[in-house]
Amino acid sequence: MAEIVLNHLRKFKYASRDHAVIRLLWVSAIRVGTARSFDVEDFDREERTLAVRHRPESDTPLKNGERAERLLALDERTTETIADYVDHARPAASDGYGRNPLFASDQGRLGASTIRRAVYRWTRPCQRGDGCPHDRDKDDCDAYRTVTLASQCPSTRSPHEVRRGSISQMLNEQIPVRAISDRANVSDDVLDEHYDARSEEEQTETRRSFFE
């Protein structure tokens, strides 16, 4: 699902705000609250990093406080996408604290609900021109006609599912659990219990390829 969505956005909405934020959510497995906390100054395109910082005094706390602070390493494509978004699509907006939010609207820093809506919107098959697998008529479908109701589409996915899928993908790629835990800011136990969406067969094949 993530690859389908990102390929569509790269082709038709390249470096848009939705493209940049959804790509970042997928490759980093961060929470929505973390995504909205970034300032432009946290992004280092030369070093290909994003600094995650706990700033409760200016309305961007992190779930795990200062313990969640870290540097996110970005791949080349993600860095390029975010850089192009900043250079060509990001509005010149600041928030009520004089900070320059990375993901912004003309009114300032995005709320968590706006980021969630972007994920719900683009994970609907009809939004990407793939038709409706539920045989609904667009003219009669509230989930299609109203962006705030996009989550009502049976095929849509939530940011939490994106995070869970991202972590499972990393596990399938045999990235060490400790590295995934640090990147996603989740304990090993919670990761294993709540975020590993792989089937028993997939886990077996991952172990097989590792030991072989």
Domain boundaries, the chain: 2-123
Kindly give, in sequence order, each residue whose CB lies less than 8 Å from that of residue 37, ignoring residues fewer than 6 positions away.
52, 53, 55, 60, 61, 62
pLDDT digit string (tens) for 177-192?
888 889 999 887 777 7
pLDDT at 211: 47
- Provide mean pLDDT across the span 163-177: 87
Place of tokens 């539920």: 134
Place of tokens 């313990």: 67
- Provide mean pLDDT across the span 107-133: 93
Nearest to 159 by CA among 52, 16, 30, 56: 30
Q: Report which of residues 78 and 144 the model is more confident about.
A: 78
Phi, psi of 91 (to 5 degrees): -70, 150
pLDDT digit string (tens) for 71-119?
999 999 999 999 999 999 999 999 999 999 999 999 999 999 999 999 9
CATH number of the 2-123 domain: 1.10.443.10
Mean pLDDT of the chain: 90
Phi, psi of 42 (to 5 degrees): -80, -15
